[in-house]
Amino acid sequence: MSLAIITGSNGLVGSETAIFLLEKGFDVIGIDNNERKKLFGKDGDTTWLKKYLKRKYKKYKHYDCDIRDNKSITKIFRYYKKRVEFVLHAAAQPSHDWAYKNIRKDFEINALGTLNILESVKNYSPEAVFIFTSTNKVYGDNPNKIKLIEKKNRWSPQKKSIYANGINEEMTLDNCTHSLFGTSKVYADLLVQEYNKNFGVKTACFRAGCITGPNHSGAKLHGFLSFLVKECVRNKTYQIIGYKGKQVRDNIHSKDLTEAFWYFYQDPINNAVFNIGGGKYSNCSILEAINYLEKKLNIVVKKKILNKPRVGDHKWYVSDINKFQNSYPKFKIKYNTEKIIDQILEENHKSLKINL
C-alpha cells in the first residue's frame, strides 16, 4: 500500500495534498502541531482541518509533532521506513513580520526543521519523492529591480520586458535584501537541492507565489487573499502596506499546486527547481482584489494605507511557470483569481454572514 508523509498536514497545502492522496488510496501520515495558532492566534488555528481529516479518512494517521524535534521525526520515519513513497514538506513559519521579531525560532522551524526531514528521508526512505514548498521570497527584493509602469490599479512590466511573461528560475538569489523569513527559506531551498545532488534524494523545490483556497486559515501576518476577503467582508476595512496597494501577486489554488506535485511524483527529474504560481492566468493587485469584492458584494471597503512597505516585499511578482509546463506539458492552471475569490466567499458565506 502506498504511503505518504506530509508535514504541515493541517495547513492549506498539506491538507489539500492529504485529501488528494487519500482519495487515490494512499495511507497518509500527517505531522502538524498547530504551531500556526501560536504564531497567528485564533485566525491561524487549523484544528478544524485535523478533526475533519481524522473523522473522514480511516487511512489518515496524525502526529502532533514539532519538526524541530529531530528525535520524534526520526522515530516516525524509522517506523515506516521504505513504505514511504511520497513526502511533502509543507510545514513552515511563513510570515515576514513574525520572523523579524523571532529570528531564531523562524530559522529553527524553516531551516533546521527541513534538515531534520531530509535526514530522515535519506536514512530511512531513500527512494521516496521529496517535495518542498519553497517560496518566491528566496529571490529577495531582486524582483523590485524590474522596471515597472504605474497603472491605475497596478504596477506592470513594460510589454517588451524580458519579464513580460513572469519571473523564471534564472533570477538570481544574490545581491539583494532578503527578509529574515526569506533567508531561512533560502537555506532550506538550497539544502533540498543539495540532498538531490549529493545523496540522490528525489527532491523538488516549488517556489510558489501566493497559495490560496477555501481551506486557508488566513491571518493578518500570512494568507494574502484569504485574509483580504474575510477582512473586507467582515470589517469593511483593509490595511495596505506600501506600494499604494498596486503591488501585484499571482495566486495559485491549492488544488492546482497539488496537481503539480502529483505530476512530479509520477516522473521525478533531477535538479528540480520550479517557479510555480498562477502566472499570467491568475494574478491581481490588492486594489484589484478589493474592487472585485466591492462590485460583487455591493460594499465599500475603507482602505488604511501605510506608505512604508515590508522589508524585502515585492512590488510586482508573477511567476513564469514555463519550465514546469515544459517538463510536464499536461499540467494546466484551472483556477483564476476571480474563481478563487468566489470559492472563498462561497465556502465561508455562513461565517461571513453574506448572501451570494
Confidence of residue 198 (pLDDT cuts 50, 70, 90): very high
Distances (CA, A) of 50 to 16, 18, 25, 38, 62: 12, 11, 19, 16, 8
pLDDT at 249: 95
Only one residue has cell 522589508, namely 311
pLDDT at 223: 57
Residue 115: its H or E element: helix 113-124
Say whether pLDDT at 90 is over 60: yes
Q: Say how far apart CA 189 and CA 92 lie, in whole Å.
A: 12
pLDDT at 226: 84
Distances (CA, A) of 137 to 99, 127, 210: 13, 29, 11
pLDDT at 225: 86
pLDDT at 71: 98
pLDDT at 216: 61
Q: Which three cell numbers stand for residue 119?
A: 535526514
Say whether pLDDT at 8 is over 80: yes
Q: Specify whether the CB–CB gap between 209 and 278 falls below 8 A.
A: yes
Only one residue has cell 497559495, namely 211
More confident residue, 221 or 239: 239
Say whether pLDDT at 190 is over 80: yes
Q: Which three cell numbers stand for residue 153?
A: 490599479
pLDDT at 218: 53
Per residue in 85-97, is it b (16+ CB within 10 Å) or e — as a string? Answer: bbbbbbbbbbbbb
The pLDDT of 15-19, averaged and rounded, is 97
- Mean residue pLDDT of the chain comes to 93
Phi and psi at residue 103, to the nearest 5° = -60, -45
Q: Specify whether the CB–CB gap between 339 and 122 falls below 8 A.
A: no
Angle at 290 between CA 101 and CA 217, to 5 degrees: 50
Q: Say how far apart CA 203 and CA 183 lie, in whole Å.
A: 20
More confident residue, 97 or 207: 207
Give the torsion through C-alpha atoms of 69, 71, 73, 75, to 10 deg: -160
Residue 260: its H or E element: helix 254-266
Confidence of residue 316 (pLDDT cuts 50, 70, 90): very high
Q: Which residues contact 65 (CB under 8 A, 6 or more apart)?
A: 31, 32, 33, 72, 73, 76
Q: Say how far apart CA 343 and CA 348 lie, in whole Å.
A: 8
The pLDDT of 238-256, averaged and rounded, is 95
Lowest average pLDDT, out of 12-16, 94-98, 213-217, 285-289, goes to 213-217
Q: Specify whether the CB–CB gap between 281 and 333 falls below 8 A.
A: yes
* DSSP 3-state of 51: helix
The pLDDT of 286-314, averaged and rounded, is 93
Say whether pLDDT at 219 is over 60: no
Interaxial angle between packed helices 224-235 and 286-297, expressed in degrees from 0 to 180 and rounded to the nearest 10:
40
pLDDT at 220: 55
Question: pLDDT above 70 covers what percent of the chain?
Answer: 97
Domains in the chain (CATH in brackets) are: 3-352 (3.40.50.720)
**Tens digits of residue pLDDT in 268-292:** 999 999 999 999 999 999 999 999 9
**Tens digits of residue pLDDT in 130-181:** 999 999 999 999 999 999 999 999 999 998 999 999 999 999 999 999 989 9
Q: How many helices (H) and strands (E) does the chain have?
A: 14, 15
Say whether pLDDT at 194 is over 50: yes
The DSSP call for residue 222 is B
Say whether pLDDT at 28 is over 90: yes
Q: Whole-prediction pTM value? A: 0.93
Say whether pLDDT at 33 is over 70: yes
The pLDDT of 293-315, averaged and rounded, is 91
| Rg of the chain taking only CA atoms, in angstroms | 19
